[in-house]
Amino acid sequence: MLLVGLGAVSTTTIAGVCAIRKGLALPIGSLTQMGTIRLGKRTEGRSPKINEFVPLAQLDDLVFGGWDIFEEDCYAAAKTAGVLDRDQLEQVRGELEAIRPMPAVFDQRYVKRLDGPNVKKGKNKRDLAEQLIADIRAFKDKHGCDRLVMVWCGSTEVFMKESAVHATVASFEKGLEQSDDAIPSSMIYAYAALREGIPFANAAPNLTADVPAMLELAARNKSLLSGNDMKTGQTLIKTIIAPGLKARLLGVKGWYSTNILGNRDGEVLDDPESFKTKEESKKSALDYIFQPHLYPDLYKDLCHVVRINYYPPRGDTKEGWDNIDLIGWLGYPMQLKINFLCRDSILAAPIVLDSALFLDLAKRAGMSGIQEWLSFYYKAPMHAPEVYPEHDLFIQLMKLKNTLRHMMGEELITHLGREYYD
């Protein structure tokens, strides 16, 4: 697994996998490691573990590598991130110290609050892409890997819109040559992965793989894409609660969400341009779940506000508050308050692991392009242009499990269930 950015999320993922394979902890939150899947009829009693049903890569076989703008090894980076206890880190210190970040492709224009010394130099962006490809090949050779997956776990870049340079592989490659400003660092990594036929996942909200040039490249090289922006704290709760309210046709007039967060991600998101990227990603879920065009009386006037406040004393232990103004029968108002005291990277790590393992599986199953069945993991799921993205967590889970059944030639589960009564 090649991780771009060895920060809080990546180091928590890597340290976690090392601890789990030593039997020191449990992979809680990971569908690939702990989930089961029902097969056949409810009367058959067949519910194997997902890990035993589909041929996933095993944790013992994983090797980690990555890039970062800071030189510290993975152990030091995990200490800086401050997510895991010192005692827990000591137990996997050797493995973590062996992982040293490769020099990054980075330009401060796209992440204003950061700067670091471990950065590649090149005559243009094309040259930087070729250097990444050389890194990828060297990593593969050194560790004797059969296959690779790349996950962007780097900082959230500034808000960008699709432009002409992103239209085709040819225009994108010309843009690389000319170091076009419309190509942020993250796109150079995605390009390098897709050129090598490696699946690419975007754990952050920045515009990276969601442009026609990347889709064309993925199709050409039979590579796979998934993203964007992992669905962890507040948005996870939102996509659990909102489908329930909608199912019971309760109206929602307002949804006010605010967070305090003190890690480096919070610091980067304190920059208005990076926050705009995150805000767009966070706000889309409710519109799609509530479908105001179908239910104007219930959701047309929804006022949805999202705030993130950088508050260093909290570190990675984020606190989110949601105030939901509801309306019920005859228009009577009600309120729901949610206070989630979560740990950002603890919620994110199983998603990084699962999405990498599922992408690798899908590649071997001959799939390519956007993997919409992995929407389950993302705040702003990638989707085909002609369909709206599916945000309802429960529909997403059904889609994911049905995809696994489909891959293995098992009957899909529709939940119709007439056969038990006819």
Site residues for ligand NAD per CB under 6 A: 4-9, 67-70, 81, 104-106, 111, 114, 116, 153-156, 185, 203-204, 229-230, 232, 263-265, 268, 344-345, 347-348
Q: Which is nearer to ligand NAD, 185 or 396 (CB)?
A: 185
The answer to whether the CB of 15 falls within 8 A of the CB of 98 is no
CA distance 104 to 113: 16
Smallest gap from Cβ 189 to ligand NAD, in A, equals 7
Smallest gap from Cβ 386 to ligand NAD, in A, equals 27
Residues 6+ apart with CB under 8 A from 104: 4, 67, 68, 69, 116, 118, 119, 120, 185
Smallest gap from Cβ 47 to ligand NAD, in A, equals 29
CA distance 6 to 90: 18
Smallest gap from Cβ 185 to ligand NAD, in A, equals 4
Neighbours of 417 (CB within 10 A): 11
Smallest gap from Cβ 184 to ligand NAD, in A, equals 8
**Secondary structure class of 69 (helix, strand, coil):** coil
Smallest gap from Cβ 100 to ligand NAD, in A, equals 13
- Residue 301, H or E segment: none
The answer to whether the CB of 316 falls within 8 A of the CB of 264 is no
- Residue 150, H or E segment: strand 150-152
Residues 6+ apart with CB under 8 A from 29: 346, 347, 349, 350, 351
**Secondary structure class of 306 (helix, strand, coil):** strand
Q: Which is nearer to ligand NAD, 194 or 348 (CB)?
A: 348
Smallest gap from Cβ 209 to ligand NAD, in A, equals 14
Minimal CA–CA distance to 208: which of 22, 380, 12, 415? 380
3-state SS of 42-64 is HHHCECCEHHHHCCCCCHHHCCC
Smallest gap from Cβ 125 to ligand NAD, in A, equals 12
Q: Which is nearer to ligand NAD, 76 or 413 (CB)?
A: 76
Give the nearest residue (CB) to ligand NAD.
Answer: 7
Residues 6+ apart with CB under 8 A from 396: 375, 376, 381, 390
Q: Which is nearer to ligand NAD, 379 or 405 (CB)?
A: 379
Q: Which is nearer to ligand NAD, 7 or 251 (CB)?
A: 7
Tokens of 94: 């050797």
Q: Which is nearer to ligand NAD, 251 or 262 (CB)?
A: 262
Q: Which is nearer to ligand NAD, 51 or 274 (CB)?
A: 274
Q: Which is nearer to ligand NAD, 104 or 176 (CB)?
A: 104
Q: Which is nearer to ligand NAD, 54 or 269 (CB)?
A: 269
Smallest gap from Cβ 81 to ligand NAD, in A, equals 5
- Residue 353, H or E segment: helix 344-364
